Amino acid sequence: MLRRTRLSARRKHRPVLVIGLGRFGVAVARSLTRMGHEVMAIDTDPACIQAMCDELTQAVEADATEPETLRRLGAAEFETAVVGIGSNLEASVLTVLALSDLGVPKICAKAINEAHARILERTGATVIVQPEARMGERVAHVIGANLIDFIQFDDDFAIAKMRAPDDFAGRTLEETGIRTQHGITVVGIKRPQQDFVYAVPDTEVRKDDLLIVSGPTTKVERFAALSS
C-alpha cells in the first residue's frame, strides 16, 4: 500500500476520491489536480499507483469493492467520488454500492453501455458518464460537418466550434442573419493569434475566424451541414 501526504479539508477546493486509474481515471485525477483539488486515488494495480503517486496528494493500492477497506481509508469523509472502473462490471457496481452505503453524497461513475449505466444508477451513482459514446458522437460531428468540436447536452442543446462560412466574411453577424434564419446564436469569435471575443450583433466576421455557436442540436447540425 502506497500513500502520500495527508488530505486537508481546509483547502478551498474539497478533496475528491478517484477509484480506478485507467485512462479515464487518470485524466480525471490530473484535471482535478490542475484545478486545485486534492486527489486521493485507489487502484488494485501497483504499477498504476506507482506511476501516479508523484502527481496526486495520496495514492493507495487497495480493493475498493470492499466496504471495510473504503471505510478504513476514510472514503466516507469525501463529498465526491469518481469511479473510473469500466472493464470489470462487477467491481464497478460493487464499488459504487460500497460508496453509497458509506453515504458519499456525489458518486460519478463511468459506464460502458446503457445497461451498465442503469445498474450503476440503481446502486447509487448520482452522475453517470459514458465517455466512449460521447466521444463517438463528437467524432461523427467533426467528420460529417464543418465542425471542429461539438458538445451536446441532454436537453437537446449543443455548443459547437466551427470555421466561419466563406460568405460570412466581411459581414456583421446581424447582416448574416444567422440567428433569424438558422435559429442559432454566435456566442463568440476566436481569430488567429488573438484573444477570444464575445459576439454582438455588429461584430464583423473575417476570413479564418472560428465561431462558437449554440442552439438546439438539430439546428446547429443543420447549419453546420449547410456551411460545410
Per-residue HEC secondary structure of 60-110 comes to: EECCCCCHHHHHHCCHHHCCEEEECCCCCHHHHHHHHHHHHHCCCCEEEEE
pLDDT band (50, 70, 90) for residue 146: low
Please report, for the chain, how many H helices and E strands are present, in that order. 9, 11
Task: Specify the pLDDT at position 52.
Answer: 95
Long-range contacts, 128-136 (Cβ 8 Å, 24+): 131/24
DSSP 13: S
Q: What residue ranges define each of the domains in the chain, with the CATH number in brackets? A: 16-129 (3.40.50.720), 135-227 (3.30.70.1450)
Residue 4 pLDDT > 50, yes or no?
no
pLDDT band (50, 70, 90) for residue 5: very low
Residue 35 pLDDT > 90, yes or no?
no
Grid coordinates representing 116 are: 451498465
3-state secondary structure of 220: helix
Residue 49 pLDDT > 70, yes or no?
yes
Grid coordinates representing 85 are: 472502473
Nearest-angstrom CA–CA distance, 146 and 110: 30
Q: What is the pLDDT of residues 103-145, one digit of tens each?
A: 999 999 999 888 999 999 999 999 988 877 666 666 666 655 6
- Read off the amino acid at residue 123: T
Q: What is the pLDDT of residues 63-88, one digit of tens each?
A: 999 999 999 999 999 999 999 997 89
Task: Specify the pLDDT at position 173.
Answer: 95
Task: Specify the pLDDT at position 121.
Answer: 93
More confident position, 84 or 154 = 84
Nearest-angstrom CA–CA distance, 90 and 72: 22
Bridge partners, 212 (sequence order): 161, 188
3-state secondary structure of 141: helix
More confident position, 97 or 156 = 97
Q: Which residues contact 139 (CB under 8 A, 6 or more apart)?
A: none
The answer to whether 102 and 127 have CB atoms below 8 angstroms apart is no
Q: What percent of the chain has pLDDT over 90?
A: 64
Cell numbers 445497461 correspond to what residue?
Answer: 115
Give first-to-last CA distance, the chain, whole Å: 54
